[in-house]
Structure 1
Amino acid sequence: MSWTKSVRRITPEEALDAEVIRKLQLASEAETKEDREMICEELFCDITGALNLQSQERLGLPISSTSDSPSLQRSSSYRTPLARSYWSLFSAFSRNKNSKEPSLVDRPSSSAHSASATVTATGITALNDCPSSSAPAASASGGHWSPSPTNSGHDMGNRDTAFYEVLAKFYQGAKDKGEAVACLCQKLWGQAYAAPIFALLLHRWLLLNPDSAAVGTLVMSRDSAGYDDRPDQQQKEEQGIITSQYKLKALGEAVHRMVPSSMLPVGWRDGPEASWQKHQAMMSNHYVKLVGVLVLGVRLLFQGDAQAGHIRFKALYRCLLDEVLLGPGLTQLSEVPQPAKRDLMGAVVAALPFYSQPSQMPLLIGRLASGTHGIEPTSVDCAEQQQQQQQKATALLGLDVDFLISEFIDMLGKIRNEAGMLKYLSALTGLKGCVQLKALNPITSLRLQSELYALTSPGGPYYAPRSIQLAAMSTLDATYPMGRRTRRVVRAVFRLFHPTDWLGEFWIAPFHWWTALYSKAVLAALWLLYRLLAWRSCRPPQTRRPSSPGAGSPRGTK
């Protein structure tokens, strides 16, 4: 009699989840801060990398025309130029701001070396390294603008499917896996990449779950987070974690029925409903903390995209805007207190012009300001029900035009990338004729005008290049067409009072032309000299004439 053992085949998503868990464990167990930063940075590059053809076929995703390149091999240096541009932004929010940036090439570690192993058990290609970019790190001080990116594969145009998109949908369905990742991320709150990784992987798990069980069963202790090959139910039973809030409520009711009130602890004497409310309040406070970390990560990711001139996190933005703020149905957003809710909505609204087209801006601002929460009429009979849902959605969002424009103004003062600023200003041009701008607060309207006018000046505080000055002037004329001629006259008068700004360019232009002509003349002379020397060296040697019979005889001989 033969016995056959059935072995469940591991899906590619589970293999990717195991790799993420393994690297998070390595980062939490690392001894030095440099090792933790290195592993977290490598994980960030992994989950933001684009899927190649083999990975898309295994995951059942549509094949992108820009993803026909083979699998990327990991280089000796984990820190790519794109990772350096995000590092300059993320490290500002690290807990220890005075620490020196670690060198990943000069000081390799055993933990990071072991973390570079790849997943090959399921036949899926290893996690791809994030493609490099030539965009330098954006400076936060005025007067330094990074140029437009030259990598056309990951700039404002084409965008491939990234690994974090697949993992976020996986964690939304597998709540236990999301809990394990959240528990490990709690140990790395002080790292620069902890909040962005948490936002990329767990934004769906935290905001789009139909019930609050995923948050209620989260491990509160930072030391109890672990992950092994045992079943999740067995792990939670051994750790003493109650896997359902309804079990906790039923347990409280049973205790109150069996044990007298005098023998119960102080926190249990108020009855099962009061105890349940205290538990809900504790879980709500912890949920607010998780939402705060999510908001921090989302702001860093969107601001990093704007500073680098990329749209790598457009999928995250579309999820938060379409499925959380404007999506149909109820989400976890209704359970978040108002301050945390406004922070989350502010992070999404600030990136609205960067990820949207100019023609979409009036419609999106109208939906956000009016609170139309993805509701479409189906029949005349449900008009009253639709109106009730719209009022409920309006109360849920609670946004006004002043809040939206204030977020736009704050984002304008933070972008220091030429391509990102041009994209942002071109989207704001779509506000021309927007009805919501008429209800704008005069103070907010004055702030927007002053911010745009500051970008039109060649001097401080931004020292914007010529392209941004022209784009800001076009945006200012589109949003406020009433004072267009007056602004241009005032600008011309100020340019006359400061002739060094334009006379310097007039006098320096011939010098630049002469320098360019002189350099080309010198290059032409050097090229002619090189060709002459090369021709002489390649010329065949001359043959000597044969000597006459008496030419070699000495004089005086007969």
Structure 2
Amino acid sequence: MPKASWTPRSSAYLNALSREIHKKLQKAPASPSQRLNLLQELFADVALEVDDRAKDIILSREEDRPADDGGDGPLCFYGVLADYYVRVPESGKPILNLLVQLWSQSFASHIFALLFHKWLFEVELDNSEVLLRYSSALVQGATNVFWIDIQTNTRRFQSLFRYLLEEVVLEPSRLNKIPVQAQRDLYLLLSRFILFYNSVDKLESFLKQVPAFPNAFLVGGPDDFLVIELADQLQKLKVEPVLLHYLSQIKFLRGMELRMTTSARLKSCLYSFTSPGGPMYPTRAVRHAAWDALDLLFPVGQYPRHLISLFFRLLYPWYWPSSCWNFILSCVKAILYSLLGLVFSFWEKLMKPKSHYS
């Protein structure tokens, strides 16, 4: 979200929102039976997209308004409030104190990550123990909300991801404000979701900012850490459009210098999506996308892999009918496209005006 200049009207509106959030949080400790529902409702409220009426109040100028197709996703209340708590930190302190009391409850870290992810890197906290607690809550909460985007195949929390990537990890002055362990956790978190949030253009800069890991001697360099996290992430994905998106974006890993163990890990992960049946049960679209990614990243041994795969397919006769049918459809489509290409080229030649000098 652009940095808006708060008018008295917008400040009053955001202050009223903060008071409502504070009231809901006050009810949570008093009613243990309703605590989960209250926190879940509050999370849904702050993650809600800002409607046109609220935009007229919050965004005072036309240049403050983000484009509808902006790269940071839709404008949500958490983005507006996160900016507000940086500008007016005293308004967020009562909310923060209540969230600390509810630290172990579900959705508490979600709400903290959404509302205070900017505040954490803008204020000065001298207590290292408190800073570590806040940093851990941020990473945990961000992980949970990013998985919500994964499960629903949306980009509602893209602005949170972009801030953590571009304004924190790529800005050492902010990144160094949190403990080293939190820096490592944040790096691993962003590694798992960088393909999902279409941030591969920042991949080179991102890999240069990797913090020091104690087991780097065994695992490898930044490229290895990134690929290991992505391979683990791929194994957990169950939403087909999201998995296809990852497989289409994974081509940007081409050319990375990986250790043999890391390379084998990624190859094994991709290969697991190329065969029908358990344990993955990938669809035809996923299998073809996995083959494309595997052939692009590991061109050596491409043809033997396909022959071995075909041999094992022949061992399962119940797959033959569908394979033959898809093969026939592919041939028919190829013939039709070739015929259409010939017709169009003939039509262009027919309609092309003849030269007077020919």
TM range (shorter): 0.7 to 0.9
Please give the per-residue CA displacement for 1:334-376, whole angstroms capped at 9, x wherever unaligned. Answer: 14332221111111121000011xxx63x433212223xxxxx
3-state secondary structure, aligned to 1:311: coil
Deviations 1:269-307 (A, max 9, x none): xxxxxxxxxxxxxx2122112111111111111122112
Per-residue deviation, residues 145-173 of structure 1 (Å, max 9, x unmatched):
xxxxxxxxxxx999421000001111122
What letter corresponds to residue 57 of structure 1 in structure 2? D
2:67 and 2:23 mapped to 1: Cα distance? Answer: 29
Alignment match, 2:93: 179
Residue of structure 2 equivalent to 1:424? 246
User: What percentage of aligned pairs have identical amino acids?
Assistant: 33
Candidates 487, 501, 507, aligned match of 2:305:
487
Paired position in structure 1 for 2:84: 170
Partner of 2:35: 36
Q: Distance in 1 between matches of 2:322 and 2:16?
A: 62
Residue 153 of structure 1 is matched in structure 2 by none
Question: 1:147: which partner in 2?
Answer: none
Check whether the contact 2:153–2:241 (CA below 8 A) recurs between aligned residues: yes
Are the aligned partners of 1:53 and 1:63 in contact in 2 as well (CA < 8 Å)? no
C-alpha displacement at 1:394, in angstroms?
7.2
2:228 maps to a residue whose letter is S
In the alignment, what sits opposite 1:304? 148
Mark the runs of 5 or more structure 1 residues left unpaired by the alignment.
1-7, 67-155, 217-282, 372-392, 508-558
**Distance in 2 of aligned mates of 1:63 and 1:323:** 18
Match of 1:340 in 2: 182
Partner residue, 2:54 = 55
Secondary structure, in 3 states, of the residue corresponding to 2:80? helix
The yes-or-no answer on 1:290 pairing with 2:112 is no
Task: Provide TM-score, normalisation by structure 1.
Answer: 0.52
* TM-score, normalisation: structure 2: 0.79
- Alpha-carbon distance between aligned partners in 2 of 1:458 and 1:286, rounded to the nearest angstrom: 49
SS in structure 2 at match of 1:36? helix
Q: Which residue of 2 aligns with 1:315?
A: 159
Q: Quote the Cα distance in structure 2 between the aligned partners of 1:42 and 1:308.
A: 18
Structure 2 residue aligned with 1:350: 192
Alignment of 1:37-436 (within 5 A): 37-60=36-59, 61-62=64-65, 159-207=73-121, 209=122, 211-212=123-124, 215-216=125-126, 283-327=127-171, 330-331=173-174, 333-356=175-198, 361=200, 363-371=201-209, 400-432=222-254, 434=255
Rounded Cα–Cα distance in structure 1 between residues aligned with 2:139 and 2:27 = 25
User: What letter is aligned with 2:151?
Assistant: Q
Separation in structure 1 between the aligned mates of residue 85 and residue 274 of structure 2, nearest angstrom: 46
| Superimposed CA distance per residue, residues 531-556 of structure 1 (whole angstroms, 9 cap, x where no aligned partner) | xxxxxxxxxxxxxxxxxxxxxxxxxx
Asked if residue 454 in structure 1 is aligned to residue 272 in structure 2, the reply is yes
Q: What letter corresponds to residue 226 of structure 2 in structure 1?
A: L
Greater percentage in helix? 2
Q: Distance in 1 between matches of 2:211 and 2:147?
A: 28
Match of 1:21 in 2: 22
Checking the alignment, whether the CA contact within 8 Å between 2:237 and 2:243 is kept in structure 1 is yes
Deviation of the 1:505 alpha carbon = 6.7
Q: 1:504 to 1:322 in 2, by over 3 A?
A: closer
Q: Which runs of 5+ in 2 are unaligned?
A: 1-7, 326-358
How far the C-alpha of 1:192 sits from its partner, in A, is 1.7
Change in 2 beyond 3 A, CA 1:370/1:490: same
Q: Distance in 2 between matches of 1:24 and 1:45?
A: 13
By how many angstroms is 1:405 displaced?
0.8
- Give the secondary structure class of the aligned counterpart of 1:461: coil
Give me the CA root mean square deviation: 2.6
One-letter amino acid of the counterpart of residue 19, structure 2: A
Residue pair 1:178, 1:205 contacting (<8 A) in 2 also: no
What's the secondary structure of 1:495's corresponding residue?
helix
Quote how far apart the aligned CAs of 1:504 are: 6.5
CA pair 64-444 structure 1, distance change in 2 beyond 3 A = same
